[in-house]
A and B are shown apart, each in its own frame.
Chain A
């Protein structure tokens, strides 16, 4: 029993209470904003080719976010969520994984999917919920998923993926696979009961899962000071006996380093790891949010100086692996590609009406078939009221 283990600790005869900050949690930093390295910093495993793939993912991510926010403002898209300022956390951690490691995201981790190679067309088809969307147009924009790329389809309820990730990783381990599951969450989601459930299940059952918390200071309008009183999210990992580390989430090399080591540990030991990546949500929570109601421009400007993409670019330039002309050309190219893809995706037809009832079960029930049949008859009677489907019903 564990209780015996803890009774063997130091014995005292006057009460000694402990508090959250008595457990010191250092933060790993490798790369400075100017592109130079901290003295004595231990580098992740990275070469020029890998660095370029990472950097291109970051650059594409920024362009995608900027263009899609604009598209939403133009009324072409119903909804969008950017990850401005946090791109290094998702891209840097995904770059430490193997292709068959499962990724379970919250919703602000497009970076991991970009790094995995999700096509621009797939991004667009999901956002425009057209008939080529892998999700068949059923979920809101940015709820991506791809079984081929081992990226679990995102759902809106926060933190539900945390205990699922523990179960998924346990299944991988039981089948003898040398793979891990990475599970992303924000610091707000970490207040949900499923956070406790998932971390405890993973620790007790020995699941090779990397819990990756993006602590960006805000959950919509709620600052982290109103989210928790303790020493961030990392301090909780210790309580579950989960190997835990805090990292500068805007430092791509530090994020890559800790995730590479976490992956190795998780696979070799069959145990979970908790990574808390400190960052700042530079943009609005979503296109339905306006941060000016709860924080200052000065605060945003201060954190904008820690831009993770610029930091990596400075490093790339210092390595002579990249130059400004290449950078400008790349960004221009991405902007054109994204704009062109929007124009294609937004005119692709919506999914067929049959997709309204498919996949509720493996096979539609007789009741569902009846409901679809009744609906089709109704649409045929009032075609003007249902312009998306009326012309396509036979």
Chain B
């Protein structure tokens, strides 16, 4: 075991992936010699050469188009989009191409070896275009997997699983935690399963569900609620698509209450999908309406970032409202 921050864990996973398979490539804007604007790809070009770790021209649709071609050829591309806010120029390549490649060809071709890494989320004074959480846009796209880790241990295990998974995966990295989150990470190879949620803390009165950086928020809110005598069960969804309905439903059938928290705006956010599914699966067990604590339906603001964020206080209030319903 070693102490790593989230970036080091990601770098370590990329290093392992590039060692085990000569056809694994890392590329994107400033990914090469510089090692990425967040340094997630540090030293990879030095170690594996310019042909396998390189800068691309500044063109997101080109990065994803190139990556799709590489994956279809049988290489294992790991494409980086510098900020999730800038993934939209590549939306067509991801949604119409990556996601549908296997289906439309009758499995004659696929891009299963593709992984897309991108930093997401607020909390760094990033304003409109360095703060977004676009997972829900992609969650409406059959054929993709969407993964979000919450700490260094998860980041390494989930990223290695994503790289090796035989489906295109969008891997959202909570950039607020890149250096802030530090923990014990095994130096050897390991994987964490995709499509499986994790019960982070068990409890009896209410289920709190989130992913990525918001798990910390849920933990803080749960501490506040516990002081009021409310026992919270916290679940980290980890994989947005396909998501682990069973683990969430089992928890909600036990606690009878569900709160979902995400940074992205409320309307059309992934919490809506979860809420609709869980009210269908757990209708007779629900003791209060499913509640969503999310970002506002506004662009992500700069000066009012603190007010915008679905923080622990808002979450705590929603927990108490739910248990007192």
Q: A75 near B: Cβ within 8 Å?
A: no
Contact of B72 among A139, A162, A168 (CB under 8 A): A168
Q: At the interface with chain A, which of B105-113, B171-179, B307-315?
A: B105-113
Bound-state Cα–Cα, A20 to B112, Å: 42
Contact A166 B65 (CB under 8 A): yes
Q: For window 162-191 of chain A, which residues contact chain B by CB distance below 8 Å?
A: 162-172, 174-175, 181
With A138-B103, A365-B195 as given contacts, are A167 and B66 in contact (CB-CB < 8 Å)? yes
Interface size range on B against A? 35 or more
Bound-state Cα–Cα, A198 to B52, Å: 18
Bound-state Cα–Cα, A227 to B65, Å: 23
Residues of A close to B143: CB separation below 8 A: 360-361
Q: How far is the CB of B227 from chain A (nearest CB, A)?
A: 38
Q: B92 near A: Cβ within 8 Å?
A: yes
In the complex, the chain A residue whose C-beta lies closest to that of B246 is A366
Q: B104 near A: Cβ within 8 Å?
A: yes
Residues of B close to A102: CB separation below 8 A: 73
Contact with A along B210-227 (1 / 0, CB 8 A): 000000000000000000
Query: Could you say which of A134, A169, A198, A201 has the most chain B C-beta atoms within 10 Å of its C-beta?
Result: A201
Contact of B142 among A136, A146, A360 (CB under 8 A): A360
In the complex, the chain B residue whose C-beta lies closest to that of A136 is B106
Residues of A close to B97: CB separation below 8 A: 155, 157, 160, 164
Contact A201 B66 (CB under 8 A): yes
Bound-state Cα–Cα, A365 to B166, Å: 13
Query: Could you say which of A162, A164, A194 has the most chain B C-beta atoms within 10 Å of its C-beta?
Result: A164
With A147-B109, A171-B75, A201-B66 as given contacts, are A155 and B61 in contact (CB-CB < 8 Å)? no
With A157-B92, A157-B96, A360-B142 as given contacts, are A139 and B104 in contact (CB-CB < 8 Å)? yes
Contact with A along B84-124 (1 / 0, CB 8 A): 00000100110011001111111111101000000000000
Contact A138 B104 (CB under 8 A): yes
Contact with A along B142-172 (1 / 0, CB 8 A): 1101000000000000000000001100000
Q: For window 28-86 of chain B, which residues contact chain A by CB distance below 8 Å?
A: 51-52, 54, 56-57, 59, 61-75, 77
Residues of A close to B110: CB separation below 8 A: 362
Q: How far is the CB of B139 from chain A (nearest CB, A)?
A: 12
In the complex, the chain A residue whose C-beta lies closest to that of B79 is A167
Contact A201 B72 (CB under 8 A): no
Number of A-B contacts (CB under 8 A): 157
Number of interface residues of A (CB under 8 A): 47
Q: A237 near B: Cβ within 8 Å?
A: no
Q: How far is the CB of B105 from chain A (nearest CB, A)?
A: 4
Q: A21 near B: Cβ within 8 Å?
A: no
In the complex, the chain B residue whose C-beta lies closest to that of A351 is B106
Contact B75 A146 (CB under 8 A): no
In the complex, the chain A residue whose C-beta lies closest to that of B70 is A167
Contact B65 A162 (CB under 8 A): yes
Q: How far is the CB of B147 from chain A (nearest CB, A)?
A: 14
Bound-state Cα–Cα, A99 to B172, Å: 40
Residues of A close to B67: CB separation below 8 A: 167
Contact with B along A137-166 (1 / 0, CB 8 A): 011000101110000110101001011111
Residues of A close to B96: CB separation below 8 A: 155, 157, 160
In the complex, the chain B residue whose C-beta lies closest to that of A126 is B106
Bound-state Cα–Cα, A169 to B66, Å: 9
Bound-state Cα–Cα, A360 to B110, Å: 10
In the complex, the chain A residue whose C-beta lies closest to that of B112 is A362
Bound-state Cα–Cα, A153 to B108, Å: 8
Contact A197 B102 (CB under 8 A): no
Residues of B close to A145: CB separation below 8 A: 105-106, 108-109
Contact B106 A163 (CB under 8 A): no
With A163-B65, A164-B72, A165-B69 as given contacts, are A359 and B59 in contact (CB-CB < 8 Å)? no
Contact of A135 among B64, B72, B89, B106 (CB under 8 A): B106
Q: B275 near A: Cβ within 8 Å?
A: no
Bound-state Cα–Cα, A120 to B103, Å: 23
Bound-state Cα–Cα, A353 to B64, Å: 32
Q: B245 near A: Cβ within 8 Å?
A: yes
Q: A236 near B: Cβ within 8 Å?
A: no
Q: For window 190-217 of chain B, which residues contact chain A by CB distance below 8 Å?
A: 195
Q: B23 near A: Cβ within 8 Å?
A: yes
In the complex, the chain A residue whose C-beta lies closest to that of B100 is A155
Q: For window 348-394 of chain A, which residues contact chain B by CB distance below 8 Å?
A: 358-362, 365-367
Q: A295 near B: Cβ within 8 Å?
A: no
Bound-state Cα–Cα, A200 to B246, Å: 46
Contact A171 B69 (CB under 8 A): yes
Query: Could you say which of A133, A134, A166, A174 has the most chain B C-beta atoms within 10 Å of its C-beta?
Result: A174
Contact B77 A167 (CB under 8 A): yes
Contact B57 A169 (CB under 8 A): no
Bound-state Cα–Cα, A183 to B186, Å: 45
Query: Could you say which of B59, B102, B145, B245 has the most chain A C-beta atoms within 10 Å of its C-beta?
Result: B59
Contact B59 A174 (CB under 8 A): no
Contact A359 B103 (CB under 8 A): yes
In the complex, the chain A residue whose C-beta lies closest to that of B142 is A360
Bound-state Cα–Cα, A367 to B242, Å: 8
In the complex, the chain B residue whose C-beta lies closest to that of A174 is B51
Q: How far is the CB of A135 from chain B (nearest CB, A)?
A: 4
In the complex, the chain A residue whose C-beta lies closest to that of B25 is A174
Q: A193 near B: Cβ within 8 Å?
A: yes
Contact A170 B105 (CB under 8 A): no
Bound-state Cα–Cα, A193 to B74, Å: 25
Contacts A155-B104, A197-B62 aside, 18 further interface pairs with beta carbons under 8 A come to A136-B106, A138-B103, A147-B105, A152-B72, A160-B65, A162-B65, A164-B66, A164-B97, A165-B69, A166-B69, A168-B69, A171-B70, A174-B23, A194-B92, A196-B59, A198-B62, A200-B57, A360-B102
Which 7 residue pairs spanning A and B have beta carbons closest together? A163-B65, A167-B69, A197-B62, A171-B73, A164-B69, A153-B105, A167-B66
Pairs across A and B, CB under 8 Å, 16 listed: A134-B108, A146-B108, A155-B97, A164-B97, A167-B72, A168-B69, A171-B69, A174-B75, A181-B69, A197-B57, A197-B61, A201-B62, A205-B56, A205-B66, A362-B102, A367-B245
Chain B interface residues (CB < 8 Å from chain A):
23, 25, 51-52, 54, 56-57, 59, 61-75, 77, 89, 92-93, 96-97, 100-110, 112, 142-143, 145, 166-167, 195, 242, 245-246
Chain A interface residues (CB < 8 Å from chain B):
102, 133-136, 138-139, 143, 145-147, 152-153, 155, 157, 160, 162-172, 174-175, 181, 193-194, 196-198, 200-201, 204-205, 358-362, 365-367
